[in-house]
Amino acid sequence: MPANYNDSTCSFSRINPFLFLIPVVTALVLTACTDKDDGKKKRIQVSHLVATIQSQIRTLSTATTRTGTIDVLRRVKIYSQEEGKITRLPYYPGDTFNKGDMLVQMDNGLLKAQLDKAIATRNQAKQDLKRTTSMVNKHLAAEDVRARSETALRVAMAEEELLRTRMEYTRILAPFSGTVSERLIEPGDIAPKYKQLMTIIDRQSLVARVNVSELLLPLLKKGDPADISIDSLGDKQFKGVISRIYPTVNASTRLGTIEVSFEKIPKHVRAGSLCRVTLIPPKKPYLVIPFTGLRRDGKGEFIFTITKESNAKKIYVRTGIRHGNLITITDGIKPNIPIITKGFLGLRDGKKVSTQNNKTERDGKKAAQRRLGQAAG
């Protein structure tokens, strides 16, 4: 192998390492510059884009529809107050009757015989007292004899009155005009004391009983108008008024009860039917916000508004009744403040925000500047 070949090879080997270091150093420099630029970009804070609507005062009607049940205020369970055999029970469920009509007749033969005996005892006691009084006046008997005769007469009269009352218990008369809703015994049966025999109702006392939110109760008062629809009678609505507002609220459901009376009782309405009552309290002003702007967490309900420095601010509020897409606010904020309604993903208290309207204005200005630059070029 020639000598000059070896010399050139050795010379190439001495220069080769430096040639490979040049690209490595260049790459490191470029990487450092890129990292520096990226650090600057990371420090740039981008505002969070949101949409807002102003809170405002609106005069609203709190008309609302609630489901309820048709019920009767006047329902009486007829019980036996004497034991005995049922001899007459003329009315069946659905039958109507008038006040004073006989509903139940029981066998009273034994009581009648006892009453006759009591009457005879009373007459005898009356005669004894008359004779004793005559003897005392003639000084033929002592005064205490007349006192015993008077006591015997009073006892006989009390016994007679007791038996007359028991006789009345064997004949039960209707306390009002109404309808039989239950018949629980038949003629020929032996009824013990205090057994329920039947149930009667007064159809003129039919009302719609409805449970409503405790938030709605302060807006209602007796005499307010209401519309009643009964599912079994179709779409027809009947006029009514609030006749009673119960003084307590259920602690579990936070619902109160009201009763709505019919202006005219529908012909085919029945107790127990499902009804829908539309309550129409007077209109009044409310502070409202969009329902989409209301948020909730473990502490309660809150909204996000925007400060003068364009930062999101979390405010806890107390809500009232919902009206479609709006909800009333009873405490926490004032009218005419921006309420964030969109852009909640990643939003937190104190975060820099910009509204959708402001972004649209900025985009429009930038587009106008570009058009001006193109025209100048």
- Low-confidence winner among 119-123, 133-137, 183-187 (lowest mean pLDDT): 133-137
Local confidence band at 357 (pLDDT 50, 70, 90 cut-offs): low
Kindly state the tokens that stand for 218.
């302060």
Task: Indicate the residue type of 9.
Answer: T
Q: What pLDDT band is residue 4 in, cutting at 50, 70 and 90?
A: very low
Closest CA to 68 of 214, 203, 260: 260
- Cα separation, 133 vs 147, in Å, equals 9
Percent of the chain with pLDDT over 90: 67
Look at 233 and 2; give whichever has higher pLDDT. Answer: 233
DSSP per-residue letters across 103-124: EEEE--HHHHHHHHHHHHHHHH
Summarize the confidence of residues 230-240 as an average pLDDT: 92
Calculate mean pLDDT across residues 170-187.
95
Angle, nearest 10°, between helix axes 109-137 and 143-169? 160
Q: Mean of the pLDDT values across residues 192-214?
A: 95
- Residue 79 CA to residue 162 CA, distance in Å, equals 19
Instruction: Spell out the alpha helix ranges (H) of the chain.
Output: 3-42, 109-137, 143-169, 356-376
pTM: 0.64
Tell me the per-residue pLDDT of 299-330, one tens digit each, with 9 for 90 and over: 999 999 999 999 999 999 999 888 889 999 99
Number of neighbouring beta carbons within 10 Å of residue 170: 23
Q: Which pLDDT belongs to residue 1?
A: 44
How much is the mean pLDDT over the chain?
85
* Under 8 Å between Cβ of 327 and 320: yes
Instruction: Indicate the pLDDT class of residue 30, thresholds 50, 70 and 90.
Output: low
Judged against a pLDDT cut of 50, whether residue 361 lies above it is answered with: no
Tell me how far apart the alpha carbons of residues 176 and 103 are, in angstroms, rounded to a whole number: 11
59-74 tens-digit pLDDT: 887 788 999 999 999 9
Could you give the CA distance from residue 227 to residue 216 in angstroms, rounded to a whole number?
17
**Whole-number pLDDT of residue 25:** 53
